[in-house]
Amino acid sequence: MSPKNTIPLEQIDAWRVRVPKGAVPGMRTDGIIHVSSRLLAHVREDNTPVQVANVATLPGIVGSSLAMPDIHWGYGFPIGGVAAFDIEEGIISPGGVGYDINCGVNLMRTDLFLPDVKPIVERVIDTLFDNIPAGVGTGGPIRLSKKEIDKVMVQGARWVVEHGYGWEIDLAHMEGSGYLKGADPDMVSDKARQRGEDQLGTLGSGNHFVEVQVVEEIYDEQIAKVFGLAKNQICVMIHSGSRGFGYRICEDYLAVMQDAVREYGISLPDRQLACAPLESKQGKRYFKAMCAAANYGWANRLVLVHWARKAFSDVFDQKPEQLGMRLIYDVTHNIARMETHLVNGRPRKLCVHRKGATRSLPAGHSDVPEVYRHIGAPVLIPGDMGRASYLLVGAEKAVTETFASTCHGAGRFQSRHAAIRATKGRHIDEELRAERGIIVRARGRHTLAEEYPEAYKNVDEVVETAHQAGLSHKVLRLRPLGAVKG
């Protein structure tokens, strides 16, 4: 675990603390962490404020180095970190996106209610478990030729729809229609392609999951109605990313950036922050490859939606359309995007890095899909497999304070090691079933111990902070009925 925080933190208001410029040498701006006083105690327990400060040393940073309420220790950049860079003077960093490029979450509604699913939830979870390939060490059922993988890189979720694994209407319910402009397959290595050729539609391991959830509490009835959701309604949430394809692209370009750092004389406090000027050849190449991985990530999650629809269809003996299995939204939380933001009253084009942070766009924003323009873009916050997840919408204050960003999850509280120690001799699957009625299936022998609920911060606290701080607006809380882990 990282060492305990030693740098000073200044309280700004109830929801923000400042990491003052000068806290580490070379800081070009302050850091600001959005946390409640209770969550701040977790932040003080590890070294994440130093990571926020380190990001503030990078060239061309605009505004503050930001952290969301679920901040926790990462590689170089903290997880829950947001940083915006000027497109002419700033940098782009693979470490600011993470290895799992376009790791993200989607949420699908159904017309089913708790009484339809509760009595057969074990069968539902087992069928999902059988239908959803983890792809760990092996591939999934979709094999992509060289030509087809190029198309996935460029088209993203559109490829999935054109090949019968998704619905046309799904695209209108995904961030950016499940696609990021700018991908260039020529910027992707043969090794990355090899990793990606049979992993489309696979879940992965670690904290990736498919969960069957029930709407437990509604905070904004009107907006919930727009999503077609009511109390006790059943939803499916999926968390995955761009799989080995994205990991390899990140790794390839971290190596490229080690050279770039020397070439452009960039001084770094941590090699994992390796970066290149956005306008450099290395920066442009990484952005094009990252877009390709982002598109693979959206395609991957939409194929996973297809497998989930198939599983429900098998169990309930009805077509997914008859079960009302419509995608509510799909968000990424690991990405760098070119966006325009008002800075000191002037619109500026920036490259916004979000590593474990979700875009939070309020009603009326031009980047919100048309179907949701009147309510704001949905924000999906998964918690842990034993407590809750949330559906929120974007809020105005995020636009002015966080480059339109909010949290992405609960945030880890215990290390894997500590989680395994804490659960020694326990059977997490049996405990979840007996104490909370939650059915879980995992392929890895240690996954459930490493991912047991208390290894994470309480998502209620994190989401309440995001809501109270005005970074996003709570709509409803979902409780897990069962989960499939990789």
Partner 1 sequence: MLEEYEASGDLGLRVRGSDISAALASAVQGIVSALLSPDTIRGTESRVVEVEGRDTEEAVVNFLNEVLFLIFGSRWLPKHLETIRLRRGCQLSARLVGEPIDFTRHHIEREIKAVTYHNLSISEDQSGVTIDFLCDL
Active site residues: 408
Question: Which one, 203 or 224, has the nearer CB to partner 1?
Answer: 203
When asked if residue 384 is in the footprint of partner 1 (CB under 8 A), the reply is no
Beta carbon of residue 101, minimum distance to partner 1 (angstroms, whole number)? 11
Question: Which one, 383 or 394, has the nearer CB to partner 1?
Answer: 383
When asked if residue 444 is in the footprint of partner 1 (CB under 8 A), the reply is yes
Question: Which one, 16 or 416, has the nearer CB to partner 1?
Answer: 416
Beta carbon of residue 443, minimum distance to partner 1 (angstroms, whole number)? 8
When asked if residue 263 is in the footprint of partner 1 (CB under 8 A), the reply is no
Number of amino acids touching partner 1 (CB under 8 A): 46
Alpha carbons 76 and 83: distance in angstroms, whole number: 13
Beta carbon of residue 329, minimum distance to partner 1 (angstroms, whole number)? 25
Residues sharing a CB contact under 8 Å with residue 66, sequence separation 6 or more, in sequence order: 31, 32, 33, 34, 52, 81, 82, 83, 402, 403, 405
When asked if residue 339 is in the footprint of partner 1 (CB under 8 A), the reply is no
Alpha carbons 396 and 473: distance in angstroms, whole number: 9
Stretch that binds partner 1, among 70-78, 155-163, 304-312, 356-364 (CB under 8 A): 70-78
When asked if residue 206 is in the footprint of partner 1 (CB under 8 A), the reply is yes
Beta carbon of residue 451, minimum distance to partner 1 (angstroms, whole number)? 9
When asked if residue 53 is in the footprint of partner 1 (CB under 8 A), the reply is no
When asked if residue 75 is in the footprint of partner 1 (CB under 8 A), the reply is yes
When asked if residue 104 is in the footprint of partner 1 (CB under 8 A), the reply is no
Question: Which one, 270 or 396, has the nearer CB to partner 1?
Answer: 270
Alpha carbons 251 and 177: distance in angstroms, whole number: 27
When asked if residue 76 is in the footprint of partner 1 (CB under 8 A), the reply is yes
When asked if residue 250 is in the footprint of partner 1 (CB under 8 A), the reply is yes
Residue type, 342: L
When asked if residue 383 is in the footprint of partner 1 (CB under 8 A), the reply is no
CB 292 within 8 A of CB 250: no
Query: Among residue numbers 185 through 204, which ones bind partner 1 (CB under 8 A)?
Result: 191, 194-195, 204
Beta carbon of residue 93, minimum distance to partner 1 (angstroms, whole number)? 12
When asked if residue 253 is in the footprint of partner 1 (CB under 8 A), the reply is no
The pair of three-digit structure tokens given for residue 456, joined into one six-digit string: 């994470």
Q: Choose, by CB under 8 A, the member of 100, 150, 175, 330 that binds partner 1.
A: 100
When asked if residue 457 is in the footprint of partner 1 (CB under 8 A), the reply is no
Beta carbon of residue 420, minimum distance to partner 1 (angstroms, whole number)? 10
Alpha carbons 232 and 112: distance in angstroms, whole number: 9
> Which three-class secondary structure string do you get for the chain?
CCCCCCCCCEEEECCEEEECCCCCCCCCCCEEEECCHHHHHHHHHCCHHHHHHHHCCCCCEEEEEEEEEEEECCCCCCEEEEEEEECCCCEECHHHCCCCCCCEEEEEEEEEEHHHHHHHHHHHHHHHHHHCCCCCCCCCCCCCCHHHHHHHHHHCHHHHHHCCCCCHHHHCCCHHHHCCCCCCHHHCCHHHHHHHCCCCCCCCCCCCEEEEEEEEEECCHHHHHHCCCCCCEEEEEEEECCHHHHHHHHHHHHHHHHHHHHHCCCCCCCHHHCCEECCCHHHHHHHHHHHHHHHHHHHHHHHHHHHHHHHHHHHHCCCCCCCCCCEEEEEECEEEEEEEEEECCEEEEEEEEEECCEECCCCCCCCCCHHHCCCCCEEEECCCCCCCEEEEEECHHHHHHCCCEECCCCCECCCHHHHHHHCCCCCHHHHHHHHHCCEEEECCCCHHHHCCHHHECCHHHHHHHHHHCCCEEEEEEEEEEEEEEC
Question: Which one, 133 or 376, has the nearer CB to partner 1?
Answer: 133
When asked if residue 267 is in the footprint of partner 1 (CB under 8 A), the reply is no
Query: Among residue numbers 122 through 161, which ones bind partner 1 (CB under 8 A)?
Result: 136-138
When asked if residue 2 is in the footprint of partner 1 (CB under 8 A), the reply is yes
Q: Choose, by CB under 8 A, the member of 274, 351, 466, 481 that binds partner 1.
A: 274
When asked if residue 110 is in the footprint of partner 1 (CB under 8 A), the reply is no
Alpha carbons 29 and 295: distance in angstroms, whole number: 33
Question: Which one, 99 or 403, has the nearer CB to partner 1?
Answer: 99
Question: Which one, 75 or 113, has the nearer CB to partner 1?
Answer: 75
The pair of three-digit structure tokens given for residue 37, joined into one six-digit string: 């006083």
Q: Choose, by CB under 8 A, the member of 158, 248, 408, 467 that binds partner 1.
A: 248
Q: Choose, by CB under 8 A, the member of 244, 277, 383, 470 that binds partner 1.
A: 244
Question: Which one, 63 or 80, has the nearer CB to partner 1?
Answer: 80
CB 203 within 8 A of CB 72: no
When asked if residue 484 is in the footprint of partner 1 (CB under 8 A), the reply is no
Q: Mark 391-430 with x for binding to partner 1 (rule: CB under 8 A) and - for no binding.
A: ---------------------x--xxxx------------
Footprint on this chain of partner 1 (rule: CB under 8 A): 1-2, 46, 72-76, 99-100, 136-138, 191, 194-195, 204-207, 244, 247-248, 250-251, 254-255, 258-259, 262, 270-272, 274, 412, 415-418, 444-447, 450, 455, 486
